[in-house]
Amino acid sequence: MKALIEGFLKFQNEVFPQRTDLFKHLATTQHPGTLFITCSDSRVVPELLTQQEPGELFVIRNAGNIVPSYSPHPGGVSATVEYAVAVLGVTDIVICGHSDCGAMTAVAQCTCMDHLPAVHGWLQHAESAKVINESRSHASGAAKVSSMVRENVIAQLANIQTHPSVRLAQEKGLLNLHGWVYDIETGSIDALDGGRRTFVPLAEHQTLCAVYGKAAEVA
Mapping DSSP to helix (H, G, I), strand (E, B) and coil, where does residue 87 land?
Answer: helix
What separation in angstroms does the CA of 171 have from each of 50, 130, 139, 178? 28, 29, 40, 16
Q: Which of 127, 121, 131 is nearest to 75 (CA)?
A: 121
DSSP 93-123: EEEEEETT-HHHHHHHTT---TT-HHHHHHG
Active-site residue (options: 96, 101, 150, 190): 101
Catalytic residue among 31, 43, 136, 197: 43
Q: How far apart are the first and last CA of the chain?
A: 52
Q: Which of 41, 125, 150, 163 is catalytic?
A: 41
Closest CA to 40 of 86, 89, 102, 87: 102
To the query of whether residue 43 is one of the catalytic residues in this protein, the response is yes
Q: Which residue in the list 39, 96, 125, 209 is annotated as catalytic?
A: 39
Task: Classify residue 162 as exposed, middle or buried by CB count within 10 Å of its CB (0-12, 13-18, 19+).
Answer: middle
E strand intervals along the chain: 34-39, 57-62, 92-98, 176-182, 189-193, 198-201
The yes-or-no answer on residue 39 being catalytic is yes
Half-sphere exposure of 126 (CA within 13 A, CB side): 28
Please identify which of the residues 98, 125, 163, 178 carries the catalytic annotation. Answer: 98
Q: Is 98 a catalytic residue?
A: yes
Active-site positions read 39, 41, 43, 98, 101
